C-alpha cells in the first residue's frame, strides 16, 4: 500500500506499509510468544518476537536485566555529553543532533547503536553526534574502557561486518517538513551496499522495534536511499514497519566540494565492485568515480567523483579537502563518466560547473611533471643520536642547529623548541623529545618472518623496509604494498620489544620535565616528513596517550584510574608503526619523498583535558594571501576545530594587528555552541592570543625557500586550559596557495 506526501520543492515522499499499530499491518495473536519471553522482556505482537523492555538488556528469550545508565557514567568519566539511552522530547534530539547541510529533505541527524547480540557491551544508545561524528569515535573515545585500544578495523567488525557485528549502527534523521502529526524521522542502517551484506526484513524490524521503544518524538520509518536498498525494500511484502523512499533526484545535480584541476585515468566502480577491489585499487594518477562515498578509504587519487551527495559525515569529503584533490558530486556519475571509462582525461571542477575531456599522455605527463608536488627531506634522520632532551635544551639558535634538531627529533618537536626559544614560555606547552635514534634502534633490534615474493625471509624491521623498497613487486603493486605494510604495523605493535632502558629513561624524563611521574602524557608523532613548506603531512601519523607507571597487566591506569592502562611501550610502538600506514606511504610517494630517509621522533607533552576552548590561528588569511589580518578559528571546550565535529560551527575571527597591537576585530562567524551575542574568546583574550602570535611571527625563523606563488604564514594550535591559561601546543610554517583557475584557458 502506498500513500503520497508532498515535500518542499515538489519532492515526493513515499511511505510503504504503515506503523505496526495500523489496522493494515500484519499482526499475530497477542500470546504468540508470551510463553517464551524471559523476565524483563515483552512479546511484540507485530512479529511474534521477544524484546527487552526499556531499561533492560540481555537475551529476551532467557532474561533481560536492568542496565546501568551507561551514558551518564560516560559523561561523568569524560567530562561532557556522550549519549542518551532514550529520546523522549524534541529538545533531546536537538541537543544530540547535528545540522544537515547537504540534503534539503533532511534537517538534523543523530548516530545510534543498537545491540545485535544479547551480550553486547552497551544497550541501545543515541550518540551525541556533536561530540562523536562517527561510531568509531564514539566507541573508541566515549567508551574506551569497554573497548580498549579500539581501531578502525575493530569498529568495522563491531558494526559493519555482517558475521561479526555486535551492534547495528546508523543514523536517525529529521525530515525537513512536518507530517500531519508533527515531526517525522527516518533511520538508516549501515551495511556494505552489496547483496550479501544486506539485512533481512526481520533484522531491520529488530532495529526499528528497539529504536521506536526508546524514541517518541515523532513518526519513525526506515529509509531506503541507494538503489540496492530501494530495490530490496520494494520486494518486501507487508513489512511490519513504515518505509520512506525519496526520489533519486533529491538535491543538486552537481556540487564541487574541492574545486581544482586534475589529469587522470577514469576508474569507475559500483559500490559492490569497490568493496571487492579494496582501497589499493587506485593511485594518484586515477580519477575515482563511485556510486556513493565509501565508508572506508585510504590512499591518494587524482580526483574523486560520486553520484551520492557527500554530506558532512563522509570520510572522502574530509580527506579530499585535506589533500586539495578535486572532489565533486555528479548525478548519475557512473553513466556520465562511462564514455571515459579507462581513458585519460582532463577534469576541472569549478564552484558552479565542471569540464571534462580526453587528454593525451604527453599533456598529462607534462602536467604531472609540472604540478605533481615534489617535497624534499632537508633533514635526513640522525640514526645514532639517542639522548632524550627537553624542548628548552634542544639547540635551535641557527639554521644548521634547527636542521639538526629536525634530524634528531622531527619537525613537531623541533618547531615547539623554536617556539619556546622565541616566545613567552608561560604560554607554550612544555615537553621533551625522544630522538629518531630510538626508533631506528627498535627497528634494528626486532626481527620477524617478513613477507617477500615467494614466501618469507627472516629480517629485522629495518631490513624489511630496505628489502621492500628494492622489490619491483612491492613498488608496482598497490594491493601487495597495502597488505605487507599492514602486516609490518601489526608485527611492530604486537611483538616488537622496546629497550627497557629507554622505557626507564622516558619515565624519568616525564617526572623531570612534566613535573609529575603520574601525569598522563601524549606521545606525539614527530617525523622529518611533516610540518614543512612543501609537505604538511597533517593527519598521516598517530599520537597516543601514555602513563609512565602503567603496564599492560594493570586493571586501570595509574594516571587516570577511570581508564584502562596506557603503557609507555605500547604508545611508543603505535607512534613508530604509524610511519608505515599505507596512506602515509602513498602520500609520501605522491610527493616523491624518499621512504628510506624517513624516521620517527616522538614529542612528549602533558595531555590536556577539560579545556575551556581550543583552536587554530594563522598569522594571515590562508584563503586570501592579500589579506593581512590574522585568522582565528576557535570552539568551546574540547569540540575540535581541526577535523571539526559535523554540525557544529566554530567561531571565525579576523584580527588586524599593527605594531604589536590590535587595530580591529571582525567577528565573521559565531560559534554554534554559544548563546547569541556571546563569543568563545572575548576581546581581551582574543587580543592576548593575536598579540602573542604577532610577536612570535616577527621573529620565528623560516629557513626553507617558499614554493613559487605561495605566501608563508605560521599555523599554530592553542588551548584555553581548564585553569584558564592560554597555551600554544603546536606551530609550523604554512605555504598558502589557493587554487586559481586559469580563466583565460579555453581548452
pLDDT at 176 over 90: no
Count structural domains, the chain.
Answer: 4
424 has pLDDT over 80: yes
pLDDT in tens, 628-683: 999 998 999 988 776 555 456 788 899 999 988 999 999 988 888 888 889 999 99
Q: What is the pLDDT of residues 53-107, one digit of tens each?
A: 999 999 999 999 999 999 999 999 998 889 999 999 988 898 888 765 446 677 7
Please indicate, yes or no, if residue 419 is contained in any of the structural domains. yes
Asked, for residue 475, whether it belongs to a domain, the answer is no
Q: What residue spans of 399-435 are helical by DSSP H?
A: 399-409, 411-422
pTM above 0.85, yes or no: no
Q: What's the average model confidence in pLDDT over 690-699?
A: 93
Residue 554 domain boundaries: 389-446+496-606
Percentage helix, strand, coil for the chain under 3-state DSSP, each rounded to 5: 30, 25, 45
Per-residue pLDDT, 313: 35
The pLDDT score that the predictor gives to residue 258 is: 77
How many helices (H) and strands (E) the chain has is answered by 20, 34
Parallel/antiparallel/unpaired status of strands 219-224 and 184-187: parallel
> pLDDT class for 623, splitting at 50, 70, 90?
low
Backbone region of residue 201 per phi and psi (left: phi > 0; alpha: psi in -120 to 50; beta: other values): alpha
Which of 340, 371, 402 is the last residue before a domain boundary?
371
Residue with cell 575531456: 357
- Residue 266 and residue 198 share a domain: no
Greater pLDDT, 194 or 295: 194
Of 371, 400, 421, the last residue of a domain is: 371
Cell numbers found for residue 687: 587580543
425 in a structural domain:
yes
Instruction: Kindly state whether residue 489 falls inside one of the protein's structural domains.
Output: no
CA distance 388 to 408: 10
Is 434 contained in some domain? yes
Q: How far apart are the first and last CA of the chain?
A: 53
User: Within a domain: residue 308?
Assistant: yes
What is residue 31's predicted lDDT score, i.e. its pLDDT?
55
CATH of the domain at 329: 3.50.30.10
Q: Which three cell numbers stand for residue 215?
A: 524514541
SS3 390: strand
The rounded percent of the chain whose pLDDT value lies above 90 is 57
CA dihedral for 142, 145, 150, 156, sign (positive or negative): negative
- Verify that 406 and 501 share a domain, yes or no: yes
* Partner residues linked to 346 by β-bridges: 263, 357
Average pLDDT over residues 108-126: 94
Question: For residue range 571-598, what is the model confidence (pLDDT) as tens digits?
Answer: 999 999 999 999 899 989 988 899 999 9
Q: Is residue 7 over pLDDT 70?
A: no
Phi-psi category of 453—alpha, beta or left, where left has phi over 0 and alpha has psi -120 to 50?
beta
Confidence of residue 742 (pLDDT cuts 50, 70, 90): low
By mean pLDDT, which of 107-116, 237-246, 642-651 is the weakest?
A: 642-651
CA 671 to CA 681: how far, in whole Å? 10
* Coil, helix or strand at residue 263: strand
Same domain, yes or no, for 550 and 688?
no
In angstroms, rounded to a whole number, what is the distance separating the alpha carbons of residues 267 and 287? 6
Contact 631, 622 (CB under 8 A): yes
pLDDT digits (tens, 9 = 90+) for 84-96: 999 999 888 988 8
Phi-psi category of residue 602: left, alpha or beta, with phi > 0 → left and psi -120 to 50 → alpha? beta
Residues 685 and 711 in one domain: yes
C-alpha cell at position 319: 580527506
Task: Please give the average per-residue pLDDT across 205-234, as a whole number.
Answer: 92
- The 10s digit of each residue's pLDDT in 280-337 is 788 889 999 998 877 656 778 999 998 877 643 344 654 565 566 888 888 788 988 8
Same domain, 634 and 596: no
Query: Over 90: is that where the pLDDT of 398 sits?
Result: yes
Of residues 218 and 1, more confidently modeled: 218
**Claim to verify: residue 228 and residue 177 sit in the same structural domain:** yes
From residue 90, give the alpha-carbon distance in Å to each of 30, 184, 349, 510, 672: 32, 11, 40, 48, 18
The percent of residues in the chain predicted with pLDDT above 70, rounded, is 88
- Which of 195, 220, 245 is the endpoint of a domain? 245
Asked whether residue 510 carries a pLDDT value surpassing 90, the answer given is: yes
DSSP 80-124: S--EES-B-SHHHHHHH-EE--S-TTEEEEEEEEEESSTT-SS-S
Identify whether residues 186 and 69 lie together within a single domain: yes
Question: Do 535 and 631 fall into the same domain?
Answer: no
pLDDT at 295: 61
**281 and 393 housed in the same domain:** no
The domain spanning residue 686 has which CATH number? Answer: 3.30.470.20
Residue 491 covered by a domain: no
440 pLDDT tier (thresholds 50, 70, 90): very high
* Averaged confidence pLDDT in the chain: 86
pLDDT at position 613: 94
Mean pLDDT of 355-381: 86
Q: Alpha-carbon distance 596 to 610, whole Å?
A: 40
Question: Half-sphere exposure (CA, 13 Å, Cβ side) for 137?
Answer: 19
pLDDT score recorded for residue 654: 93
- Name the more confident of 325 and 2: 325
> Which one has a higher pLDDT value, 485 or 633?
485
Buried b (16+ CB within 10 A) or exposed e, 470-506: ebeebeeebebbbebbeebbebbbeebebeeebeebb
Co-location of 235 and 280 in the same domain: no
Distance (Å, whole) CA 481 – CA 671: 43
CB atoms within 10 A of CB 681: 24
Count CB atoms within 10 A of the CB of residue 420: 22
Does residue 194 form part of some domain? yes
In sequence order, what are the beta bridge partners of 187? 172, 222
Give the Cα separation of 63 and 670 in Å (integer).
50
Angstrom distance (rounded) from CA 386 to CA 221: 61
If asked whether residues 351 and 435 sit together in one domain, one would say no
* pLDDT at position 434: 98
Q: Give me the pLDDT at residue 126, please.
A: 97
Query: Do 344 and 437 share a domain, yes or no?
Result: no
Give the pLDDT mean for 191-206: 93
Q: Which run of H or of E encompasses 711?
A: strand 711-720
Amino acid at each position: 500500500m502506498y500513500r503520497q506526501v508532498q515535500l518542499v520543492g515538489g519532492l515526493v515522499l513515499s511511505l510503504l506499509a504503515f506503523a505496526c499499530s495500523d489496522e493494515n499491518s500484519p499482526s499475530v495473536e497477542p500470546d504468540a510468544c508470551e510463553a517464551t519471553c524471559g523476565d524483563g522482556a515483552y512479546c511484540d505482537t507485530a512479529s511474534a518476537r521477544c524484546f527487552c523492555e526499556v531499561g533492560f538488556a540481555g537475551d529476551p528469550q532467557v532474561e533481560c536485566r536492568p542496565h546501568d545508565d551507561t551514558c551518564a557514567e560516560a559523561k561523568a568519566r569524560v567530562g561532557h555529553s556522550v549519549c542518551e539511552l532514550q529520546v523522549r522530547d524534541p529538545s533531546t534530539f536537538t541537543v544530540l543532533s547535528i545540522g544537515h547541510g547537504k540534503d534539503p529533505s533532511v534537517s538534523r541527524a543523530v548516530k545510534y547503536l543498537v545491540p545485535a547480540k544479547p551480550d553486547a557491551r552497551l544497550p541501545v544508545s543515541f550518540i551525541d553526534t556533536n561530540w562523536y561524528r562517527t561510531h568509531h569515535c564514539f566507541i573508541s573515545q566515549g567508551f574506551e574502557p569497554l573497548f580498549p585500544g579500539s581501531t578502525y578495523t575493530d569498529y568495522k567488525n563491531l558494526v559493519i561486518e555482517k558475521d561479526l557485528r555486535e551492534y547495528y549502527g546508523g543514523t536517525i534523521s529529521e525530515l525537513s517538513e512536518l507530517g500531519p502529526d508533527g515531526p517525522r524521522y527516518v533511520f538508516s542502517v549501515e551495511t556494505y551496499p552489496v547483496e550479501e551484506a544486506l539485512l533481512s526484513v526481520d533484522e531491520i524490524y529488530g532495529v526499528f522495534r528497539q529504536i521506536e521503544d526508546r524514541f517518541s518524538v515523532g513518526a519513525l520509518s526506515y529509509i531506503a536511499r541507494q538503489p540496492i536498498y530501494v530495490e530490496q525494500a520494494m520486494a518486501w511484502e507487508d513489512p511490519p514497519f513504515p518505509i520512506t523512499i525519496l526520489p533519486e533526484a533529491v538535491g543538486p545535480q552537481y556540487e564541487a566540494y574541492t574545486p581544482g584541476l586534475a589529469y587522470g585515468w577514469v576508474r569507475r566502480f559500483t559500490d559492490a565492485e569497490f568493496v571487492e577491489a579494496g582501497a589499493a585499487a587506485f593511485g594518484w594518477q586515477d580519477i575515482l568515480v563511485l556510486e556513493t562515498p565509501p565508508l572506508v578509504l585510504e590512499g591518494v587519487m587524482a580526483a574523486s567523483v560520486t553520484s551520492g551527495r557527500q554530506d558532512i559525515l563522509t570520510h572522502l569529503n574530509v580527506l579530499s579537502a585535506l589533500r586539495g584533490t578535486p572532489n565533486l558530486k555528479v548525478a548519475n556519475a557512473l553513466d556520465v563518466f562511462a564514455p571515459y571509462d579507462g581513458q585519460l582525461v582532463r577534469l576541472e571542477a569549478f564552484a558552479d560547473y565542471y569540464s571534462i575531456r580526453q587528454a593525451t599522455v604527453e599533456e598529462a605527463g607534462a602536467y604531472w611533471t609540472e604540478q605533481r608536488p615534489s617535497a624534499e627531506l632537508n633533514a635526513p634522520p640522525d640514526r645514532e643520536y639517542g639522548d632524550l632532551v627537553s624542548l628548552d635544551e634542544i639547540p635551535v639558535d641557527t639554521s644548521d642547529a634547527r636542521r639538526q634538531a629536525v634530524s634528531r627529533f622531527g619537525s613537531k618537536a623541533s618547531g615547539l623548541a623554536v617556539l619556546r626559544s622565541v616566545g613567552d614560555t608561560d604560554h607554550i606547552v612544555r615537553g621533551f623529545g625522544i630522538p629518531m635514534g630510538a626508533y631506528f634502534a627498535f627497528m634494528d633490534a626486532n626481527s620477524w618472518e617478513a613477507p617477500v615474493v615467494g614466501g618469507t625471509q627472516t629480517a629485522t624491521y629495518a631490513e624489511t623496509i630496505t628489502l621492500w623498497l628494492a622489490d619491483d613487486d612491492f613498488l608496482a603493486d598497490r594491493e601487495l604494498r597495502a597488505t605487507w605494510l599492514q602486516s609490518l604495523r601489526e608485527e611492530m605493535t604486537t611483538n616488537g620489544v622496546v629497550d627497557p632502558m629507554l622505557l626507564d629513561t622516558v619515565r624519568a624524563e616525564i617526572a623531570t620535565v612534566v613535573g609529575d611521574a603520574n601525569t598522563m602524557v601524549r606521545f606525539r608523532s614527530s617525523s622529518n616528513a611533516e610540518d614543512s613548506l612543501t609537505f604538511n603531512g597533517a593527519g598521516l601519523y598517530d599520537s597516543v596517550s601514555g602513563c609512565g607507571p602503567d603496564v599492560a597487566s594493570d586493571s586501570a591506569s595509574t594516571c587516570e584510574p577511570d581508564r584502562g592502562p596506557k603503557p609507555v611501550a605500547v604508545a611508543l610502538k603505535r607512534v613508530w608503526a604509524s610511519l608505515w600506514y599505507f596512506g602515509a606511504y602513498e602520500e609520501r610517494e605522491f610527493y616523491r619523498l624518499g621512504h628510506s630517509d624517513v624516521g620517527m621522533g616522538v614529542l612528549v607533552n602533558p595531555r590536556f583535558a577539560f579545556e575551556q576552548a581550543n583552536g587554530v590561528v594563522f598569522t594571515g588569511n590562508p584563503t586570501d594571501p592579500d589579506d593581512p589580518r590574522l585568522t582565528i578559528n576557535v570552539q568551546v571546550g574540547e569540540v575540535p576545530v581541526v577535523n571539526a565535529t559535523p554540525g557544529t560551527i566554530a567561531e571565525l575571527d579576523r584580527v588586524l594587528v599593527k605594531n604589536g597591537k590590535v587595530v580591529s576585530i571582525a567577528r565573521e562567524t559565531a560559534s554554534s555552541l554559544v548563546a547569541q551575542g556571546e563569543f568563545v574568546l572575548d576581546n581581551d583574550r582574543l587580543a592576548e592570543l593575536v598579540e602573542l602570535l604577532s610577536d612570535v611571527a616577527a621573529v620565528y625563523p623560516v629557513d626553507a625557500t617558499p614554493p613559487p606563488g605561495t605566501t608563508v604564514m605560521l599555523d599554530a594550535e592553542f588551548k584555553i586550559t581548564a585553569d584558564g591559561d592560554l597555551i600554544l601546543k603546536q606551530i609550523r610554517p604554512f605555504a598558502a596557495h589557493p587554487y586559481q583557475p586559469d580563466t583565460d584557458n579555453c581548452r
